Chains A and B, each alone.
Chain A
Amino acid sequence: MSAGKWTADEELLKTFRAVGRASLLVDIQDSHSGNMAVRWADAAGEERIVITATGSQKGELDRSQICFLSPAETDYGYYKASSETDVHARILSLPGVRASMHAHVKEIVIATLDDRPKPAAPPPFVPVDPLGWYHLGGSVPVDWFAVPSGSPEMARTIPERLAANVLTLIWGHGAMARGRTLPEAFFRLCVANNSGAIVRQMEALGVDVAALRARAMAGPGAVFSHAPADYAAYDDARNDFPEEEEIVAEFAKAGHRVFESRLSPFHTGSMSVRGVEAMLYAPKASMPRDIGGPLLKVPLAPGPADDPETALHKAIYAGSDFQTVLHCYVPEAEAQAHFVYPGDPAPADRIVPVDAEGGFQYLVIPVVPPGADAATLVRLLHEYKVVVVRGGGVWAVGAQSLSEVLHHPSSVREICLYRAGAFARGLDLRKMEPERARRW
């Protein structure tokens, strides 16, 4: 390979850097772990594997740490490339796969740890949240490897797993995901980590996760709200309203905050600003800096092609005067929505803040079952501004701005963290909840 080819163009470098930084922000890498790879055609149309250098610090990638390899033969690029290059190369040879990524998705790794003697075949991980269930396929394989990093055993097994799954877990180590683009692979890793976090938080709250899994496997419609739309891999740069520069900036600010504050995994959730006949709609609300998402102008009138998410935005606007809507998948809220008070037969229909700020800002956060209709949601949003749908994320509304609507799920996350923390310390939540909250 000539030296001239050892240079990432701006777009490629930007993507690697952005995904690298984002992966550290959501804590699915340590400072030097993980690796990213894509298949890339150079100007002459020659296919290359582009992969991060071994030991590179993913938060600060520079050009020299983006390696260009031949997919067909060993060349000098392999000196510097990731130790997982063999695994990536085989994954990238799968039909339709143009990107792969390995990350230390600690939440789901912890959620799949067990103390049985090894070697052993761990059971698959079954998500109990809608993102994990629908985007990861309802069941995620877990494999134990004697040498769980860069080994020939991994290079053989993992591509096989990824031929049938979008993501696979390496017991005690991390996950490997495939995608059509690098952001799509990153998306799947984030969703997986989120699923692990939710299971762990549910376990900490005493939720019967096994029973929930059994119900999901019996019929996901009873456990989850609508299925999220399939990940759209190629439209992130689309902007239907470039003339509204100030609003575009507001979407970016809100999207960054959703991502960085972990209010919803990467490129999940949705947000909108209402116009008179159309809404400005970001179907990937959680947007890190430097990785945007599409900004669409969508008619407010219901359309036959509307996915459930878009349709719900429209229904909220049709039934109210709100100007902004945000939907995101706050993991703490999903776990809390399944909390059952000791002695109660079923999860509560409200989350009651036990902290001072949350208690006066909200008093209660209503929780509705996954099948709740739009009219119920709109009614509750009028009264409470934010609603948790069990198995369906957090919906919030604002009278004016995206900033206003963003504050609600952010507050809900804090409220849930305080409740979970108090419960973990053995405190009696019932005693901590304000008396007035019971009347609402």
Chain B
Amino acid sequence: MYGYHGRILEVDLTDGRVEAKPLDPSLVRDYLGGRGLATRLFYDAVDPACDPLGPDNVVVLATSPLVGTSAPTSCRGHMVFKSPLSGLIGTSNSGGTWAHAFKATGHDVLVIRGRSSEPVTLDIRPGGARLLPAGDLWGKDIHETTDALTEGAEPGNPYKVLCIGPAGENLVRIATVANDRNRVYGRCGPGAVFGSKKLKAVRVSGREKIEIGDRDLFRSGLDQAVYLMKQAPVTKRLMREMGTAGLVELINLIGMLPHRNFQDCRHRDEDVDRVSGETLARTFLERAGGCYLCPIGCQRHTSVPGRGGPDEKGEGPEYETTVLMGPVCDIYDLAAVTRANYRCNELGIDTISYGGTVACAMEMFETGLITPEETGGMDLSFGRADSLEALVRMTARREGIGDRLAEGSWRLAAACGSPGHSMSVKKLEIPGYDPRASFTQALGYMTSPTGACHLRGGYAVSLAFFGGTKEIPRYSLLQSPIAIRNMQNIGILQDSLGVCRFTGYAFATEPWARMVRGATGGDFSVAKLEEIANRVACLERLFNIEAGATAEDDDLPARFSDLPIVVEGKERRLAPEDKDRMRRDYYGIRRWDADGRPTREALDALNIRRRGR
């Protein structure tokens, strides 16, 4: 099996059993790798009714057949688990070097079950793996843990570390798992799942290589991909020079930059300038960086003035962090946002969900639903930049009001009797694009399997504003369902190929199809990849239905229907009937029934085997 090692490493933390199993070639044929393969293995392994923070939850981390090749950006791993935030499927994707290094141990997939009685580190080498006590690491942050575990590697074969910080240990529902210190599996709370299993880290080291099936074919796809990436402004220059935060000005220009917990999209231009990618590049940016095999280079290596001490160095902020911790909290202080980003990186918290949760708390504080007594006297009003960094620490350690923020915005708001204050879908906080400014984006948030995610929901904003020839009308009820289905499917393929979303600015599926055909020698035509994407989407939906999701969960907060924003002089909102139509049509195009359940016809057509059948 070219492109794969053909091995799954299964670890049961309850009894300490570690076992390598063969990878079923039929799974590869039907689910490819990464997100697709992980989803299938997860679906087969987990009870959808399980407690996400209990021992029965299973984490599946899969690489793709391109990981281990020279395909651009092919360094990414994909993690699937039951989310402690949504109670539905949780999927998260990260670059860095860990996934590549894991594959070099001779395994394609890591499956983690059970729960250890004591903190442990999983140490994986070619030919074996073992569990090491990690009591001395428990309580350490991600940078400290990474530093401790990377010591002692043999020259030329460094250890790569995947780990959680205190937030994960403390079962913070918005906790991350990180590799390379600052590259995170961020959304849906995977850190809390690791924490619940007492799994502090996974350390890998290896030099196993995969064989390429057809080098010439692989090369032809690679050459075309590289050419197109050198041609496209976003991949050749923009990301390196401004990072994703370069979008701040553009998204504001098109009336889509959210403000004050999504109450409106109105900002003073000079305020937006203060948190823009251009300002970041002029002030705190030290250098750009990239993940392994990435020519794009969106990483922001920055430093901010220390408060009474030396400058602080770290990574970030990216667009989502800037917007969710910034304008969504009515904060336009780039230094404060950057410092809070550093703390999130260290302590292991998802910056999107954190910003969304803080904004929710700020609005409830201003409306009296959260009292000064509950905050310990802290002023949680909108615009209080000084609270951002402190609240990260309190959240990670579940101290004071931080204990409630650690539950995410929906549980925080629901506990105050006002879940409508949570700007979330399926309890996952909405990223930095206001859905009222693009129906396609709105539908993406609504139908994303993980909740409001701009990546799993389909990166629709590009379709409206900087998608080149792919741009479609912003408010088309007719085009949005198919447009977002296709964007979601491209995302599924990118996640299943182990490559970066941003390559999509340069090209779509065709070069990848040639590369993956060349790498595997298998029949991965574009049509086949399209079919795989539809299969994965359907299986994710099936799990969610079995976990209790209904069509009612595919909805936006009422704010987006009740409270219009003004875009280009026109009031825009998501009327309930428009949402209903788009959702119905989306179900139709996915071949799901009126309740959003995959039909037998769809399951048969996609050759999806249901649980227990």
Contact = CB atoms under 8 A, between A and B. Distances in A.
A320 B479 contact: no
A382 B216 contact: no
A439 B534 CA distance: 29
B570 to A, nearest CB: 12
Contact of A440 (B220, B485, B526, B588): B220
B526 A383 contact: yes
A399 B527 contact: no
A400 B463 contact: yes
A399 B490 contact: yes
Contact of A403 (B469, B483, B527): B469
B469 A404 contact: yes
B470 A321 contact: no
B220 A274 contact: no
A250 interface: yes
Contact of B227 (A275, A320, A360, A399): A360
Contact of A399 (B216, B220, B486, B589): B486
A158 interface: no
Contacts of A384: 510
A273 B478 contact: yes
Contact of B530 (A250, A382, A403): A382
Nearest to A379: B527
Contact of A439 (B220, B463, B472): B220
B527 A439 contact: no
B303 to A, nearest CB: 39
B470 A399 contact: yes
B275 to A, nearest CB: 31
Most A C-beta atoms less than 10 A away, residue of B231, B482, B489: B482
Nearest to B508: A399
Interface in B183-231: 216-217, 219-220, 223-224, 227-228, 231
A276 B216 contact: no
B580 interface: no
Given A277-B588, A404-B470, A385 B510 contact: yes
Interface in B144-158: none
Contacts of B513: 383
B217 A400 contact: no
Interface residues of B, number: 41
A398 interface: yes
Main SS at interface, chain B: helix
A361 B527 CA distance: 19
B534 to A, nearest CB: 7
A213 interface: no
B517 to A, nearest CB: 10
Interface residues of A, number: 35
B475 interface: yes
A323 B224 CA distance: 24
B530 A439 contact: no
Contact of A323 (B473, B477, B486): B486
B375 interface: no
Nearest to A245: B473
Contacts of A398: 469-470
A321 B508 CA distance: 14
Interface in A235-261: 241, 244, 246-247, 249-250
Contacts of A401: 463, 467, 469-472
A153 B489 CA distance: 66
B260 to A, nearest CB: 29
Contacts of B223: 360, 436
Interface in B502-526: 508, 510, 513, 525-526
A180 interface: no
A383 B513 CA distance: 8
B473 A246 contact: yes
Contact of B478 (A244, A320, A378, A400): A244
Nearest to B584: A276
Interface in A253-298: 273-277, 280
A356 to B, nearest CB: 9
Nearest to B220: A436
A63 interface: no
A363 interface: yes
Interface in B570-613: 585, 588-589
B510 A383 contact: yes
Contacts of B227: 360
A273 B585 CA distance: 15
A320 B224 contact: no
Contacts of A246: 473-476
Contacts of A321: 482, 485-486, 489, 530, 534
Contacts of A379: 525, 527
B326 interface: no
A407 interface: yes
A247 B527 contact: no
A277 B589 CA distance: 9
Nearest to B219: A436
A257 to B, nearest CB: 11
B481 interface: yes
Contacts of B508: 399
Contact of B472 (A275, A280, A382, A400): A400
A46 B227 CA distance: 66
Interface in A352-394: 360-361, 363, 378-379, 382-385
Contact of A436 (B216, B477, B487): B216
Nearest to B527: A382
A384 B511 CA distance: 10
Interface string A412-440: 00000000000000000000000010011
A277 B223 CA distance: 39
Contacts of A361: 228
15 contacts: A250-B472, A276-B588, A320-B527, A320-B530, A321-B482, A323-B479, A323-B482, A361-B228, A398-B470, A400-B479, A400-B483, A401-B469, A401-B470, A404-B470, A407-B469
Given A275-B479, A321-B530, 18 more contacts: A241-B478, A244-B476, A246-B473, A273-B479, A320-B530, A321-B485, A360-B224, A360-B228, A382-B525, A382-B527, A399-B470, A399-B508, A400-B470, A400-B472, A400-B487, A401-B472, A407-B469, A436-B216
Interface of B: 216-217, 219-220, 223-224, 227-228, 231, 463, 467, 469-479, 481-483, 485-487, 489-490, 508, 510, 513, 525-527, 530, 534, 585, 588-589
Interface of A: 241, 244, 246-247, 249-250, 273-277, 280, 320-321, 323, 360-361, 363, 378-379, 382-385, 398-401, 403-404, 406-407, 436, 439-440
Pairs of residues from A and B, 9 with the lowest C-beta to C-beta distance, nearest first: A246-B473, A382-B527, A404-B469, A382-B526, A360-B227, A276-B585, A400-B470, A276-B588, A436-B220
